[in-house]
Structure 1
Amino acid sequence: MSKNLGKENHKKEGNISIISATSLEKVVASVNIYGAVDAVAFEGFILKEVLPKIKEGDCLIMDNAKIHLGEMVREIIEQEKARLIYLPPYSPEFSPIENFWSKVKAILRKLKARTYKDLIEGIELAMLEVTQKDIRNWFTHCCYCTS
């Protein structure tokens, strides 16, 4: 009798990393990357996806992940007259995107995607489940003024 009876054999595929940005109203930008995200990929995300959507006076909140700390990131955001705010180390309680990821990951776990294609579709479906009310509540929960 086979030990794998009743189990599907799945070849483990590479990781998918997701970079996203939210405003008080919506997911502003999101990119799926096959593999790990490095500083170059993050800078590209800021330049191509986020920068065209920010305006003077906007605040971008980031944790102290090494990829967020590049001089280029700071310079291009400040050129747009936006503010870049780095959170204190080890303070996810002040990061609304952490709540966003918690909801997205919970939905993905329920979907049980087992292929790359299903995972990409699942990510899209999970992000569609995030409402404006969710996002505002997460900002409020993290002690940001939302009025």
Structure 2
Amino acid sequence: MKKYLCDQLTNDPELHIEEMEQMLLDKFDVKVSPSSVVRALKDWPRKKMRRIAQQRDEDLRDYYLYRLAKLDVQSFQIVYFDTACTNTLGCLRHSGRAPKGKTPIKYNKLKRGGQWQILPAVTQDGILMYRVYQGSTDKFVIEDFISELLHFCEPFPGRNSVIIRDNASVHRSPKIQQMCDEAGVLYVELSPYSPDFNPCEEIFSNLKTFIKKAYKENPEVAEYDFKFFLEWCVEVVGDDEDLAKQLFHHAGIPITHPE
């Protein structure tokens, strides 16, 4: 029965205990207690799940990696960018401790200030530049951001000479492509549904964790000037070179330096 459970969890790792109980009853006509299921799965602990889009195309992922290899793109040449959003509620921790049978309660002074966008450019040395702003992210915001980013870029194959974007429509502006061409900078598109190839995704995860920690320690700063608070958080996380190199490694990019 344990092998059967493990096979089912391999196909569907988010099954709950009661669902597994029912599956065992249907398959073996045996009523198993929840504690027995838990003991049987002691070597299969619950973990944070990584979700992969069914739309992911492995051929397109291979082609993206092939393009980088064919161009001999090195890590010191790459700049990734992407956007994430947060708000004042994103500063709060959503779990806490309390006696058994009690719900943990915490009172906070909350202000609804709308959504804030965080738009960083990430290199192997950290966050090269960023913007924090309210409102939507359209092609004009991205065009203006890339225009500024290009001041930090050298022509290929120099440092920061390959800008990598995801396949969001606002990143596909002909004006951006023209600006990059004129600057001698490559503008490369990630394969669709491939967040694991983009260190920005993990930067955002680390940033959101740090925002919650910083708010816990300095709530008055966030409540007085939320934009300043977010910018400070971005700079602290963005200055961590070891983290940036680690995230490049996670994205499959070995760290290299210009000769």
Q: Is TM (by shorter chain) over 0.5?
A: yes
| 2:225 corresponds to 1:117 | yes
TM-superposed deviation, 1:117 = 1.0
| 2:196 corresponds to 1:93 | yes
* Identity, % of aligned positions: 21
Query: Which of 242, 245, 252 is matched with 1:136 structurally?
Result: 245
* 8 Å Cα contact 1:22/1:28 also seen in 2: yes
Partner of 1:80: 183
What stretches of structure 2 of length at least 5 have no aligned partner? 1-105
| 2:141 corresponds to 1:41 | yes
Deviations 1:23-52 (A, max 9, x none): 22131110111122111111111112x011
| 2:206 corresponds to 1:103 | yes
Which whole-Å CA distance do the structure 1 matches of 2:201 and 2:235 have between them? 14
* 8 Å Cα contact 2:133/2:227 also seen in 1: no
* 8 Å Cα contact 2:155/2:183 also seen in 1: yes
Aligned counterparts, 1:12-27, within 5 A: 12-27=112-127
Deviations 1:71-113 (A, max 9, x none): 1111111211111111111100000111111111111122335
Aligned counterparts, 1:26-65, within 5 A: 26-48=126-148, 50-57=149-156, 58-65=161-168
* TM-score, structure 2 normalization: 0.50
Name the Cα RMSD after superposition. 2.0
Q: 3-state SS of the aligned residue for 2:121?
A: strand
Distance 1:62 1:116, change over 3 A: farther
TM-superposed deviation, 1:66 = 1.7
* 8 Å Cα contact 1:13/1:116 also seen in 2: no
Q: More deviation in 115-124 or 73-82? A: 115-124
TM-superposed deviation, 1:64 = 0.9
TM-superposed deviation, 1:19 = 1.0
What stretches of structure 1 of length at least 5 have no aligned partner? 1-5
Distance 1:117 1:89, change over 3 A: same
- How many residues are aligned here? 141
Partner of 1:3: none
